[in-house]
Structure formats: structure tokens, C-alpha cells
Structure 1
């Protein structure tokens, strides 16, 4: 983290409001991306088209196409929609504890509004590790 960008980010992360928004958005992107990837893999494994999934959940095909599109313009599908799609694929969505290292990078800054210089690298690594990789 030696470039000007990373130095500026480290400075910005000293602002509790910015830090919390950065962490929330990082977690949101990573979580939605992981769920969408898992659902799309399950859809493909079941041999279902996006239109068939849409029919199963009572949605317009365009809605499901957008949901599974890479670079999705709606990065925050409703939990209800995700649950419906999961059920149509024979899955359920569960809540699980974060691993200790992610908890330190995510939960602690959200609660305290601060992050140690060493934790900044873990936080940036967390976000980089979970950048959007949704299949087309």
C-alpha cells in the first residue's frame, strides 16, 4: 500500500463515517456477489434457464436476467427475491458467523468507527478478495 491512492484511502479511513460506509459497501458487495454466484452455479447445475427460474418464482424473465447479469445494475436484490430464487433451485439462504480475520476487518471497524493501520491492509484485502466476479 505505497501508492498515492492507498495513502489517500488510508487517510480517508480515519474518518469514522467514511470507514463505516466503506466497510458496509465492501460487505454488501461481497455478500451479494457470493450469493449470486452460488445461485447461478446451482441454476446451471439444475439445467434451468433464467426464464425457467423466472417462471418458477413468478417474475418477469427480464428481472431474473438482470439479477444474474455480470455488472448487475441492481447490486441490492431484496432478500425475498434471493430466497425465492434459492427455493426454486432447492436451496436455502443461511446466516453464518464471519471467520475471525474477517470479523476483525469488518465488525470491529463498524462498531468502533476506527481501524488500526495494520487492519487497513486486511480491510483493503477483504474488499479486493471479494470484488464482483458474477458470471455473465
Structure 2
């Protein structure tokens, strides 16, 4: 058994605990969502030809605020900050439904506290968290 296989087996066992499963799903979705929004904002900033300092001045924030938002691996911005930065770039933060094909993998485990296939759930959430997919314009 490889180290990687052991990891997925252990995680699948941990996901059988309803409390752990819910926390893992919620945290995975939080990370994926924040990464997606921050990446879209940074792409828009670059497309607009703005430096991080120029963007900070546009919303009357310290440049360090924007540097942390766009450069930190563990950024946890408020929705208000994201909305303010997005507006300065001509964007709006919106909420959209999870695609129907994914709802069974994400929503059902949250509601039921269990997953039909914990290993499949773990791999799906890992893919969401580590994806660098760009948001459509």
C-alpha cells in the first residue's frame, strides 16, 4: 500500500464520522470558493492594468490589504471587502447554484451527515480545493 493510498483510505474512514464529514465539506467549499473569487479578482486587476497599490488606492485601503488578499495562501476576506474590490474592477460577487451533477456529492453529505462513497467525496473535494480553474467572464 502506498503512502498516497493510505492517506485516502484514512480520510475515507474519517469521513464516516458525520461531524468530521460536515466540517471537511464546508471547509473544502470555503477554500474553493474564496480561491475562485480571489483569482477572478486578480485576473480582472491584471486585465485592467492596475497594480495592487493602484487598486488599493481606488478603494481607499492600504496596499498591504490588497497584497494580502491577492497573495496569501490562506486568505479569508470578508464578503464586504471582496464586493468593494470587485466593484472597483467592474465586477459583482454573486451566488450561483452548485451544478446539479455535483449536488449529490456536496449537498447530500452535508444534509445527511454521510457519503455513499467517502473516498469519492474526498477526491472530489480535493479537486475543487486544488483547482486553479478560471471563472468565466
TM-score w.r.t. length of structure 1: 0.88
CA contact (8 A) 2:28 2:128 kept: no
Deviations 1:17-66 (A, max 9, x none): 10001100110010000001100000000001101111111111011101
Q: Could you give the per-residue CA deviations for residues 95-115 of structure 1, whole angstroms, max 9, x where no partner exists?
A: 111011221111111111100
When residues 132 and 60 of structure 1 are mapped into structure 2, their CA distance, relative to the original with a 3 A threshold, is: farther
Q: Give the whole-Å Cα distance in 2 for the aligned partners of 1:64 and 1:133.
A: 20
Q: Which moved more, 1:101-110 or 1:47-56?
A: 101-110
Q: Is the 8 A contact 1:40 1:68 kept in 2?
A: yes
Q: Which runs of 5+ in 2 are unaligned?
A: none
Structure 2 counterparts to residues 5-84 of structure 1, below 5 A: 5-71=7-73, 73=74, 75-84=75-84
Q: What count of residue pairs does the alignment treat as equivalent?
A: 131
For residues 16 and 84 of structure 1, the distance between their equivalents in structure 2, rounded to whole angstroms, comes to 37
Q: Distance in 1 between matches of 2:88 and 2:109?
A: 37
SS at match of 2:8: helix
CA RMSD of aligned residues (A): 2.0
Distance in 2 separating the partners of 1:20 and 1:32: 18
